[in-house]
Amino acid sequence: MKESKNIYPKTIGEAVNRILSKTHDGLKITIMRSAEEEFASKFNVGLGACIRKDFGLWDNKNPELLRDCTSENIDPDEASKMILKALWKRVRDKEKKQ
């Protein structure tokens, strides 16, 4: 999930769109079988690390995305967890509509 340094997503929605554009059906099935907190906690280690690295959350390279995650000061780990929760919600909402 490599991102160009200058083309980071600026919002949670943009981040979710990028993840979904590169996601396989297996992850979507896992999301459908998992509770929100379970998914976010379990995947914050692997996928969350990719999010933090590739979306510029480390070293404050993407302050826009960090700000979109909360109005308070947030660390990259919590920001990636919020993005994972938004991913979980988007996939489940889409599946419910189908």
**pLDDT attached to residue 95:** 80
- As given in the structure block, the two tokens for residue 80 are 């990636």
User: Can you give the pLDDT at residue 55?
Assistant: 96
SS3 content of the chain, % helix, strand, coil (to 5): 70, 0, 30
Model pLDDT, residue 70: 82
Judged on CB neighbours under 10 Å (0-12, 13-18, 19+), 48 is buried
Q: Are the CB atoms for 12 and 69 separated by under 8 Å?
A: yes
The span from the CA of 21 to the CA of 18, in Å, is 5
Q: Per-residue pLDDT tens, the chain, 98 aa: give them.
A: 655 556 999 999 999 999 999 989 999 999 999 999 999 999 999 999 999 999 999 988 999 999 999 867 789 999 999 999 999 999 999 887 77
